[in-house]
Amino acid sequence: MDTCEVHAVGSNNPEYYGPETKQQRDDRLNSKLKEKFGSLFTESNESELNRQHLQQERVIVDLKTLLPLFEKKCSKDSCSGACKVVNYKLSGGVLRVSWECSSNHHGYWVSSQVLCEKNGQEIFSTSMLLALGVIMSGSHYDKLMLFSKFLGLNFISRQTFQRIQRLYIIPSITSFWEDMKSEIWKVITKEQLVLCGDGRNDSPGHSAKYCVYVLMEQFLDVIVDIEVTDKRQTGGVSTNMEVYTLKKLLERIVGKLLVSEIVTDASTAVMKLVRDMKGNTFFAVKHCVLNKIFIFYLLHLLYSGKYSF
């Protein structure tokens, strides 16, 4: 029977679970993680705001079929005057229509809810969601802009997209990730972990400017940590970014999480990193071949009562 015993936690500690199978351990941790993730979504102060603006159905409408709806009887009480569209404007995926009737009544209609106001300027839900959709879908602004051009769909400008991304989307994503990471670490802090890591550059070869390195727990399928490196941090040498980023992650994790193994792709630079760090921490290096892909096992921290961090 595959067992996972928690040696470092005494039996008098309420967190002590004793011998348990790997499946029991995974089910227990997944249940805790699911509960923590659920609380992040439901207990947020912005949850009601999300329901009002995000969870709304939207449609694509031809402008020629929409504008005639404003050229009817005046909507003011006791006024029988005929209305006409005075002006309309398309901007950021939002339509603004101004109308007036023969009795000099005026009206204004906008196709999106107002999310907020900043410096006297209205920020619309549709414009915000268009920018958010580009980021969250992993797409690219130019691709969606071209798609919108073929469809004849009004889209946000590049300047608006970059401003919304910088001021609202990236800070919100960063804040949410920090909250999620904190909850993940609380759940797994006393557990033996097998972390799988790999890095990806924004472009191939020596032209790469950024490297993103991700560490994920093998059996729980959750991201434990992530780091982004700029080429300027490695003296302008893009080939050094992956090892540099992994080193930053290991320095942040070791001593806080109980890492049993880390699995990553084979690299002489990674091997050298292990040798350099070996004197300060307890590592046992393993390597094997699987389906002709070299898998390099790093950081076998000796987890027993003899050692402590």
| Same domain, yes or no: 39 and 102 | no
Residue 71 counted as domain residue:
no
Do 111 and 41 lie in a common domain? no
pLDDT digits (tens, 9 = 90+) for 70-103: 888 887 878 878 888 889 999 989 999 998 888 8
Asked if residue 96 is part of any domain, the answer here is yes
- 57, part of any domain: no
**Beta sheet of 94-101, edge-to-edge order:** 83-91, 94-101, 106-110
Domain shared by 37 and 133, yes or no: no
pLDDT of residue 82: 84
Has residue 185 been placed in a domain?
A: no
Are 209 and 294 in the same domain?
yes
Q: How far is CA 54 from the centre of its chain?
A: 17
Residue bearing the bigger pLDDT, 282 or 118: 118
What is the band of 16 on the pLDDT scale with cuts at 50, 70, 90? very low
Q: What is the pLDDT of residue 46?
A: 60
Domain assignment of residue 59, yes or no:
no
Co-location of 42 and 140 in the same domain: no
Count how many domains the chain has: 3
Same domain, yes or no: 165 and 218: no
Which residues fall within 8 angstroms of residue 21, CB to CB, at 6 or more apart? 1, 2, 3, 4
Angle, vertex CA 169, rays to CA 167 and CA 213, nearest 5: 115
Judged against a pLDDT cut of 60, whether residue 44 lies above it is answered with: no
Helices within the chain (DSSP H only) = 22-42, 47-53, 63-66, 125-136, 141-151, 158-164, 170-188, 241-253, 268-277
Within a domain: 219? yes
In the structure, what pLDDT confidence band is assigned to residue 37 with cuts at 50, 70 and 90?
A: confident
Question: Do 158 and 211 belong together in one domain?
Answer: no
How confident is the model over 114-128, as a mean pLDDT? 86
Percent of the chain with pLDDT over 70: 80
Q: Which of 15-19, 40-44, 77-81, 231-235 has the highest mean pLDDT?
A: 231-235
Residue 307, judged by CB atoms within 10 A of its CB (0-12, 13-18, 19+), counts as: exposed
Check residue 17 and give its pLDDT: 52
Share of the chain above pLDDT 90, in %: 31
Encode pLDDT of 146-197 as tens digits.
999 999 999 999 999 999 999 989 998 899 899 999 999 999 988 888 888 8
Please, are residues 124 and 114 in contact by the beta-carbon 8 Å criterion? yes
| Residue type at position 119 | N
**Is residue 305 included in any domain, yes or no?**
no
Confidence of residue 12 (pLDDT cuts 50, 70, 90): very low
Structure-model confidence comparison of residues 303 and 108, the more confident one: 108
* pLDDT of the residue at 171: 92
Q: For residue 184, what pLDDT is reported?
A: 93
Note whether 198 and 288 are same-domain residues. Answer: yes
36 and 131 in a single domain? The answer is no
Considering the domain boundaries, does residue 78 fall inside one?
no
How far is Cα 155 from Cα 145, in angstroms, rounded to an integer? 7
- Are 214 and 250 members of one domain? yes
Q: What does the pLDDT look like over 252-294, one tens digit per residue?
A: 988 888 888 878 877 777 777 766 765 554 443 333 323 223 3
- Looking at the structure, do residues 212 and 255 belong to the same domain, yes or no? yes
Average pLDDT, stretch 31-38? 86
The residue segments making up the domain with residue 26 are 1-46
On the CB side of 278, CA atoms within 13 Å amount to 12
Question: What pLDDT, on a 0 to 100 scale, did the predictor assign at position 181?
Answer: 93
pLDDT, position 165? 93
* Same domain for 137 and 88: yes
- pTM equals 0.70
Smallest Cα–Cα separation from 285: which of 270, 304, 307, 305? 270
Give the separation between CA 285 and CA 298, rounded to whole angstroms: 5
